[in-house]
Amino acid sequence: MRWGDFRRSDNVEDRTDADPGGGFPRGGGIKLGGGALVVIVIASLIFGVNPLEMIGAIESGGPTAPPDSRQPAAPGYGPPGAPAPGQSRAANAPQDPAKDFVAAVLGDTEDVWKAVFQSMGARYEPPRLVLFRRATQSACGRASASTGPFYCSADRDLYLDTAFFAELSRRFGAPGDFAQAYVIAHEVGHHVQNLTGTMRKVDLEMRQRDARGRNALSVRLELQADCYAGIWGYFAQRRNKLEVGDLEEGFRAAAAVGDDEIQKRAQGYVVPESFTHGTAEQRLRWFRTGLESGDMRRCNTFGS
Ligand SMILES: [Zn+2]
């Protein structure tokens, strides 16, 4: 992916050096995960299953080493600390490459969604992305490396553990910058659902349903976030920001984080009623729908 000249977002809050803190404040809001270590914690209280149990089954151990020492160099993107030609770096010191990448992808999602919202006569309010190492606090509760990336509807923040990128490549065989960008774009997709009111509607609807019905609704929510991630990919592609192999990378990531794949790895069998993100085939299909159409109206995962 040619992300070197993406506009860097100002909405990244770097907590990678911060003390994780010890408390477990209870928060309101909906916490939606999306990536590989997959959690959709629609408040574990509402939910029949405890997603953390599933995570626990696939989490082998403690925090992983700091990632991104092996961040693949994109064309036009030199070695760390050496800005590529034409790349305007602000006067501040060279950034951590992981943070720079996250700010670039987030900035690009802001530009894309701003334009999409404008075309609908609406205004896009970008989310904040909290980058952390090991653990931090959110309005939806404590975030840790084991929860994976998630979106918290209460503070409208995305939470991303830097070790996750390393995990994605190591554990799920989906390395590469586009796969990582897909995960960010998926979480941004949840923010879009929050802005459009879909998340609130689904939350209300869930209160009327039993565990199986709630699970089915949460799968629809996840698949729509995949479709929205695809919409970002559509515009990246149109601006010629993708390279050969990027789409395959994204497809691989979308498939690798399907619940059936994860459960197969975790338990050796598949339990459909406990899916919270959809199967690999579903995730791939909806990601592709967004990617090929670039049209939010095509992302009606609830109507299909
Ligand atoms: Zn999600």
pLDDT in tens, 202-233: 989 989 999 889 888 988 998 999 999 999 99
pLDDT band at 269 (very low <50, low <70, confident <90, very high): low
Instruction: Give residue 266 CA to ligand 1 midpoint distance, Å.
Output: 19
| Residue 204, both tokens | 């209300």
- C-beta neighbour count of 52 within 10 angstroms: 15
Give the closest residue to 300 by CA, choosing from 207, 227, 237: 227
Give the closest residue to 145 by CA, choosing from 65, 31, 72: 65
Averaged pLDDT score across all residues of the chain: 74
Mutual orientation of helices 246-256 and 177-196 as an angle, nearest 10°? 60
Task: Yes or no: say if 259 and 38 are a contact pair by the CB < 8 Å rule.
Answer: yes
End-to-end CA distance of the chain: 32
pLDDT in tens, 172-189: 565 678 888 888 999 999
Looking at residue 130, its pLDDT comes to 93
pLDDT in tens, 35-51: 433 333 332 323 333 33
Instruction: Give residue 226 CA to ligand 1 midpoint distance, Å.
Output: 8
Instruction: Give residue 71 CA to ligand 1 midpoint distance, Å.
Output: 24
Instruction: Give residue 225 CA to ligand 1 midpoint distance, Å.
Output: 6
Looking at residue 73, its pLDDT comes to 35
Give the closest residue to 57 by CA, choosing from 212, 234, 259: 259
pLDDT band at 95 (very low <50, low <70, confident <90, very high): low
Instruction: Give residue 83 CA to ligand 1 midpoint distance, Å.
Output: 33
CA distance 92 to 80: 14
pLDDT band at 57 (very low <50, low <70, confident <90, very high): very low
Average pLDDT, integer, range 15-35: 61
3-state secondary structure of 250: helix
pLDDT band at 262 (very low <50, low <70, confident <90, very high): low
Alpha helix ranges (H) inside the chain: 51-58, 97-119, 163-172, 177-196, 198-206, 211-238, 246-256, 259-267, 280-293
pLDDT in tens, 103-125: 999 999 999 999 999 999 999 99
Using the 8-state DSSP alphabet, how is residue 274 labeled?
A: G
Q: Which residues have their alpha-adjacent CB atom under 5 A from ion ligand 1?
A: 32, 34, 222, 225
Task: Yes or no: say if 104 and 180 are a contact pair by the CB < 8 Å rule.
Answer: no
